[in-house]
């Protein structure tokens, strides 16, 4: 630092997902003049030496934004943060099994005709030989042209055969239906049409466009069709549940088969607290798990039953942190756990055509912390890299505890005052810090944030595409109703001068702000779910993670656990930029009289740069400057 000229200081916040930098000139009298900022992705796990590349990139970009060279810097300040890693597990706790194809639900996307047909399944080649006058369902294998199929059904009907429905292997349901003189329900695209049992009683139902089936999705409807007693109705109820909301379905009954909806062992968790230890079975659900966490808490460690998904997840995150931080496994502790009940579409075992059932599952997020921080090693590595690059007089220091720095930065938001709570919602964890009127700061770190929301969206919608689930999480939705307009999720319409992409027509799309001047970028969602269903899954996932964790954090750090004694809540981090998370949290805390909103650090940076700015403030006001 040059005497009489102050210092050029860079505050650097290494987060779970992003690294932020803030450059300022700090005068000898403690005045601060912010002159540059930068944001980049974090390299490696937060708090490890692998962060160095991301830090150097952020420092270089911030210095360029400030108009100074790396050699013109005096001090690089890092946040003191214990490494945190979150792991996720989705543990299914029920399982629908169909043996011998007793009840086979099928959900094709392009049915033909309309109505309900109940009859015996007959091979297409044998239609003309069918006698007896009983209703039949034509089973048309792959390889038969739609015109041939329609002509064969028409000839059979003319000969007195009562054809009440059809099951097709090809994607021809609409084409066949258009060529029949009598409307019947037709199911197509049965992937394993050769496995559909012939000679068995079956029911095929197709609803009108925009509607869903009513009979086959009702357990009592199935009981009526197949003459089931109470015990049999209870057994087949999972099939009805699996078909709810579908436009079409086929159900086949064989007398020797069986259907069951059974619970499968999900493993147990051992929760360790400072005064007690408890064991909880994951299959009991999220409410019981979280109640036990609160009774044991604050958690000092968690162990999972070996040989289960839950146990594997616990072991993996613990081992990952030990490898990254070079600590012994005994020094790595799980300090928080978040459990969420969800429904996961799973393929029905024993089904014929890829049938799915919504099965109960528990999503788990665990947060691991090491016994000590490795930030000084990160600071030493940064100083060495800067010196080797020609910035010989730059020093790198651990400038302050992250929670305290976040509060300092958040207090620069216009309109805030003590007592104040900072909620920093990132990818893997939710961090909260409170500063009372006396200036005392307390902090808490909870498992579960943006990554868990993405996982919930991906699994509940059956996407198997985390990138698409992330886009659904971040972007509002619309549906292209014509080539020149879309219907937004709030019900309004947006019109365009140029035709929309053909891939977007009649599809639900995400509306990214990274579009062109003519409108937002549209990414079609390849799923049969409606816009309302996708929106419901997205908002529910955010409520079960962000809102739940926000309230958990506030209750832990509120004075005397009374939320009404909190004056202001400032939301920081990337999730605070989300288009609906701040609204959801504000609505949740409104009954307690809390002022809640997205932070605006220094009145210019929005919810970003709070910790980096707080590091500079601490350097200027706490006598941390070095001559």
pLDDT tens per residue across span 533-549: 999 999 999 999 999 99
Read off the tokens for 380.
């030493």
Mean of the per-residue pLDDT values of the chain: 85
DSSP readout, 532-559? HHHHHHHHHHHIIIIIHHHHHHHHHHSG
Confidence of residue 10 (pLDDT cuts 50, 70, 90): very high
Cross-sheet strand order for the sheet of 395-401 = 32-41, 18-26, 7-14, 75-80, 395-401
pLDDT value for 300:
92
Judge whether residue 89 has pLDDT over 80: no
pLDDT value for 561:
76
Q: Is 33 left (phi over 0), alpha (psi -120 to 50) or beta?
A: beta
> Domains in the chain, ordered, with CATH?
7-82+373-408+609-625 (3.30.420.40), 96-262 (3.50.30.70), 265-363 (3.90.470.30), 415-599 (3.30.420.40)
Judge whether residue 192 has pLDDT over 60: yes
Peptide bond into 419 cis (omega under 30): yes
pLDDT in tens, 564-618: 889 999 999 888 999 999 999 999 999 999 999 999 999 999 999 999 999 999 9
Task: Please compute Rg for the chain using Cα positions.
Answer: 30
Closest to 297 measured CA to CA, from 268, 340, 338: 338
Biggest CA pair distance of the chain: 107
From residue 463, give the alpha-carbon distance in Å to each of 88, 357, 570, 578: 17, 15, 34, 22
pLDDT in tens, 302-361: 998 877 777 877 887 778 777 766 778 877 888 899 999 887 776 655 555 555 666 778
- Give the whole-number percent of the chain exceeding pLDDT 70: 87
Spatial distance between the Cα atoms of 164 and 481, rounded to a whole number of angstroms? 34
The count of C-alpha atoms lying within 13 angstroms of the C-alpha of 367, restricted to the half-sphere facing its C-beta, is 28
pLDDT, average across residues 187-207 = 83
3-state secondary structure of 339: strand
pLDDT in tens, 411-461: 999 999 998 999 988 877 888 999 988 888 998 888 888 888 998 999 889
The DSSP bridge partners found for residue 294 are none
The count of C-alpha atoms lying within 13 angstroms of the C-alpha of 568, restricted to the half-sphere facing its C-beta, is 22
pLDDT in tens, 450-507: 888 998 999 889 888 999 999 999 999 999 999 899 999 999 999 988 888 888 888 9
């Amino acid at each position: 630092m040059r005497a009489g000229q102050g210092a050029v200081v860079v505050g650097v916040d290494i987060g779970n997902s992003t690294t932020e930098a803030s450059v300022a000139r700090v005068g000898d009298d403690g005045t601060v003049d912010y002159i540059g900022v930068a944001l980049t992705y974090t390299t490696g796990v937060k708090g490890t030496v692998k962060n160095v590349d991301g830090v150097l990139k952020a420092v270089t970009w911030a210095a360029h934004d400030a108009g100074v060279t790396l050699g013109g810097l005096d001090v690089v300040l890092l946040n003191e943060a214990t490494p945190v890693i979150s792991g996720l597990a989705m543990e299914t706790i029920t399982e629908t099994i169909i043996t011998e194809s007793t009840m086979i639900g099928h959900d094709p996307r392009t049915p033909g005709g309309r109505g309900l047909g109940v009859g015996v399944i007959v091979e297409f080649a044998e239609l003309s030989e069918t006698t007896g006058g009983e209703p039949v369902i034509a089973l048309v294998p792959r390889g038969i042209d739609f015109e041939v199929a329609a002509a064969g059904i028409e000839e059979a009907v003319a000969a007195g055969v009562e054809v009440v429905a059809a099951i097709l292997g090809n994607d021809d349901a609409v084409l066949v239906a258009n060529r029949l003189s009598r409307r019947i329900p037709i199911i197509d695209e049965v992937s394993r049409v050769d496995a559909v049992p012939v000679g068995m009683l079956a029911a095929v139902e197709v609803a009108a466009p925009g509607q869903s089936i009513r009979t086959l999705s009702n357990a009592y409807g199935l009981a009526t069709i197949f003459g089931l007693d109470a015990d049999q109705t209870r057994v087949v109820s999972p099939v009805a549940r699996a078909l709810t909301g579908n436009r079409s379905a086929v159900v086949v009954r064989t007398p020797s088969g069986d259907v069951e909806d059974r619970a499968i062992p999900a493993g147990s968790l051992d929760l360790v607290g400072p005064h007690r230890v408890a064991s909880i079975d994951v299959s009991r659900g999220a409410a019981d798990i979280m109640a036990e966490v609160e009774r044991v808490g604050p958690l000092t460690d968690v162990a999972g039953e070996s040989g289960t998904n839950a146990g594997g997840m616990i072991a993996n995150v613990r081992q990952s942190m030990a490898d990254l931080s070079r600590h012994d496994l005994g020094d790595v502790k799980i300090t928080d756990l978040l459990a969420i009940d969800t429904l996961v579409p799973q393929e029905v075992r024993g089904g014929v055509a890829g049938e799915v059932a919504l099965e109960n599952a528990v999503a788990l997020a665990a947060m691991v912390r090491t016994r000590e921080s490795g930030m000084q090693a990160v600071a030493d590595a940064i100083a060495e890299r800067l010196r080797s690059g020609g910035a010989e007089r730059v020093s790198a220091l651990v400038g302050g505890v992250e929670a305290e720095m976040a509060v300092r930065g958040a207090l620069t938001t216009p309109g805030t005052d003590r007592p104040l709570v900072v909620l920093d919602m990132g990818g893997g964890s939710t961090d909260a810090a409170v500063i009372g009127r006396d200036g005392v700061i307390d902090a808490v770190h909870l498992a579960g944030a943006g990554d868990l929301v993405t996982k919930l969206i991906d699994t509940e919608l059956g996407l198997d595409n985390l990138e698409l689930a992330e886009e659904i999480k971040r972007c509002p939705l619309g549906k292209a109703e014509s080539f020149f307009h879309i219907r937004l999720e709030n019900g309004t319409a947006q019109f365009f001068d140029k035709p929309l992409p053909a891939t977007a027509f009649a599809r639900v799309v995400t509306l990214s702000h990274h579009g062109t001047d003519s409108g937002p970028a549209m990414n079609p969602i390849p799923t049969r779910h409606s816009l309302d269903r996708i929106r419901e899954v997205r908002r529910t996932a955010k409520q079960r993670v962000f809102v739940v964790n926000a309230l958990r954090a506030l209750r832990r750090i509120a004075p005397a656990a009374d939320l009404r004694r909190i004056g202001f809540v400032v939301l920081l981090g990337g999730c605070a930029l989300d288009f609906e998370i701040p609204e959801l949290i504000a609505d949740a805390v409104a009954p307690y009289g809390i002022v809640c909103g997205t932070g605006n650090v220094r009145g210019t940076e929005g919810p970003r740069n709070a910790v980096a700015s707080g590091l500079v403030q601490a350097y200027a006001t706490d006598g941390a400057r070095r001559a």
